[in-house]
Structure 1
Amino acid sequence: MSNTAPSLAARAANIKLLALDVDGVLTDGTLLYSADGGESKCFTTQDGLGIKLLIDHGIEVAIITGRRSAMVERRAKELGIHHLVQGRDDKLAALRELCQTRDIALSACAYCGDDLPDLSAIAAAGLGVSVPNAPAYVRDRADYVTEHPGGKGAVRELSELLLNAQGRWGEIVEGFLTTEATTR
């Protein structure tokens, strides 16, 4: 980033939509196949809470994935994600279409991915994000690389970053302290 580019905090403060890849971001990228042809993926509940907090505080969340999976559809439904795009290899085209239908500027979108199909969306988004388990050429083009790997809290970390930049994180934490104190 050049010295004239907006700071990370300024970019994060402007985000209205977070779009996420699945394999390698919401999961660790491992695909488990059973002998009967079934497929399994592991999602972390901490990422799930981060997504719910974003949605509850006015940041839309979308999933854009090249694969099709009933498990991803189920997870999106459980978390209240209404924008699910599956089977799309051109992530940037999918992101642009989503932005157009939601009337959100690409500069007000964050995109988090981990591999070559995500590269153009990472580069074009207002806040391009990668995970540390991504190849170097993907990480190098991101505005931010999470400390936590995909499937291990990267989305939660990104959620907290966005909510903090938008001045919401303190009130969220305080709300959980107050809730906990009143339920004892």
Structure 2
Amino acid sequence: MASYVLLEQARDIQALVLDVDGILSDGFVSLTNSGDEIKSFDIRDGLGMKLVQASGMKVIIITGRKSNIVEKRMTDLGVDLIFQGREDKGVALKEACAQLNILPEDCLYMGDDWPDLSAFAIAGMKVTVPNGHVEVRRRADLVTQAMGGRGAVREVCDMLLTSKGTYQALLEKYLRLTH
């Protein structure tokens, strides 16, 4: 569980901003013989994103690559904004914030490699994964226990829900479904 300091820092976060490769996926690019790309997403991360939205936060995707797979999965999840093919993620983060009328300081940005550093520089909270590049880990407020594409986003979502005091109420809804 996150420390008291991290929970305090997370309390005012209004948007969860995620890179895709290495964060929502394992960072591997798998291609079929016909050249089609294959990506895997952890279903727990998807539920975490929906829970974060249910508690009033926005979810934003900023990725350097373009992929129909990402567009489909994020649209299916009801993500608020999707920015693909964006090399300067700091600029994309500023654009997303302007569209949602929030400040970059109100965002938790989760990334794993050098292209994410410009967004790290302006986000209010910075998170990476254990196999994130050393320069990203060095600048992160939190390094998750889980790996990218393997529940790391859910771990962060649970921390955000806990910081906002909504975790238990959301859990209770699922506990009542079993009766």
TM-score normalised to the size of structure 1?
Answer: 0.93
> 1:105 offset after TM fit, Å?
1.3
| Aligned with residue 122 of structure 1, among 120, 123, 130 | 120
- Find the partner of 1:90 among 88, 91, 114: 88
Count of aligned positions: 176
Aligned to 2:171: 173
Structure 2 residue aligned with 1:103: 101
Q: Distance in 1 between matches of 2:121 and 2:178?
A: 41
Contact 1:122–1:130 at 8 Å: present in 2 too?
no
> C-alpha distance in 1, partners of 2:125/2:67?
27
Which residue matches 1:135?
133
Structure whose alpha-carbon radius of gyration is higher: 1
**Structure 1 gap ranges (5+):** 1-5
Aligned to 1:54: 52
The Cα of 1:72 is off from its aligned counterpart by 0.1
Q: Residue 68 of structure 1 aligns with which residue?
A: 66
Partner of 1:113: 111
1:131-178 deviations in whole A, cap 9, x for unaligned?
Answer: 111011110101111110100000000000000000000111122111
Alpha-carbon distance in structure 2 between the residues aligned to 1:120 and 1:7: 24
Counterpart CA distance in 2 for 1:124 and 1:107 is 7
The answer for the alignment partner of 2:16 in structure 1 is 18
Task: Compute the displacement of 1:180 (Å).
Answer: 1.4
Structure 2 segments unaligned to the other structure (5+ residues): none
Maintained 8 Å contact 1:26/1:43? yes
* Identical counterparts, % of pairs: 46
TM-score, structure 2 normalization? 0.95
What's the offset of the Cα at 1:35? 1.2
Contact 1:123 1:142 in 2 (8 A): no
